[in-house]
Amino acid sequence: MGKNILVIGLGLIGGSIALAIKKEHPHATIYGFDSHTESSLLAKTLQVIDEVVFKLEDVVHTCDYIFISVPVKQTIDIIQELSLYELKEDVIVSDVGSTKQEIVHTANSILGEIGVTFIGGHPMAGSHKSGVVAAKEHLFENAFYIFTPHNESPSSKLGVEQLKTLLKGTKANFVSMTPEEHDRVAGVISHFPHIVAASLVHQALKYDQKNELVRPLAAGGFRDITRIASSNPSMWRDILLHNRNVLLDLFENWIDEMEQIRNFVASGNGDDIYNYFMDAKNFRDGLPTRTKGAIPSFYDLYVDIPDYPGVVSEITGLLAQERISITNIRIIETREEIYGALRISFQSDEDRAKAKLCIESKTNYETFNG
């Protein structure tokens, strides 16, 4: 495939899309543009892209595919800018935004007017690292890559099929749905959970001002279950504003949910409380474990270790010998001369399994999955 592909926004997602396309279509030419020129130059140095673009108008007229990989709010601006230039007659434009209704509507009303096919897109994968240096060709493997065409017209259907062919190297699971369906589902499984996590942290913050033990006691499990509250505030501001109507409905549902469990507690109804948690456990235990969802998974391995000098470097040294990469490492619940836990985070379940085997076969330390 000797096509010209332009990726606008050379962060984790844009860079990974470029790498996945290049892997499957080595004869394609990948152009890269980023508002931060240093990111573009770095992407070229890392061979994520083939050519750096300094001005969009210099190359858009030659491109067969254009991917907009910037925050939701900026995506609207890029769509408006693209409409000012002469684009290839059969070009396909797509994005990677976490909300779809406003983006697809805007693109259809602006780009559709000049005959350009726009297919909304959302690869549901990510990483705890950011920037083009973290880009990987296999980032989307086994993840859901959602397409949200404006309608069921022949051009939209053809556009989706062409994108599937172009993005075959991602090894993602492609799904098509309406922009409205996407925003509802994403609101339930991604957007609203981030709100809940942030609200739990705010509650702890208020108690922290009254009791100095809150912060140290929150360092373990509480810190883990609220990890997503550390996500980019600017990104989540834009997502919440763009998916406002869906989230307002979900707020009402959540209030009803909290009122229900509150009534169970107030009435002292043990059976209802038990069933409430059992229903949640059964549904949660039945969720897929081998596919990626809307929120990046955490592949953690806990290692019981004694508190003595050199133990951390011993573990990381063993993993380095096996060329197993880690994304994060932290010592928790350790006090002098007793066993604590070393939590190591990995990029994939496969890396975690390799690390578990490595550590258990070469040391006497016990490990368990987080």
State residue 53's pLDDT score: 94
Please provide residue 175's backbone torsions phi and psi, each rounded to the nearest 5 degrees: -135, 140
The predicted model gives 293-311 an average pLDDT of 73
C-alpha–C-alpha distance, residues 349 and 300, integer Å: 9
> Helix, strand, or coil here: 84?
coil
- Using CB atoms within 10 Å of the CB of residue 314, give its burial: 0 to 12 exposed, 13 to 18 middle, 19+ buried: middle
- 44 is written with which tokens? 């070229």
Q: Is the pLDDT of residue 344 over 90?
A: no
Q: Is it the case that residue 294 has pLDDT exceeding 60?
A: no
Please give the Cα distance from 163 to 95 (Å, whole number): 11
Note the pLDDT of residue 19. Answer: 96
The rounded distance, in Å, linking the Cα atoms of 346 and 326 is 5
Bigger pLDDT: 43 or 211? 43
Residue 333 has pLDDT above 60, yes or no: no
Q: Quote the pLDDT of residue 220.
A: 67
CB 340 within 8 A of CB 327: no
Q: What is the pLDDT of residues 178-206, one digit of tens each?
A: 999 999 999 999 999 999 999 999 999 98
For residue 221, CA distances in Å to 49, 198, 227, 276, 359 come to 41, 15, 10, 21, 24
Average of pLDDT values for 262-281? 95
Cα→Cα distances 238→60, 97, 178, 234, Å: 27, 11, 21, 6
Query: CA nearest 98: which of 148, 39, 48?
Result: 148
Q: 29, 4 in Cβ contact below 8 A?
A: yes
Q: Are 353 and 299 in contact (CB under 8 A)?
A: no
**Cα separation of the two ends of the chain:** 43
Average pLDDT over residues 99-123: 93
Give the pLDDT confidence of 232-270 residue by residue, as tens digits: 898 899 999 999 999 999 999 999 999 999 999 999 989
Which residue in this structure is represented by tokens 């270790």? Answer: 305
C-beta atoms surrounding 60 within 10 Å: 24
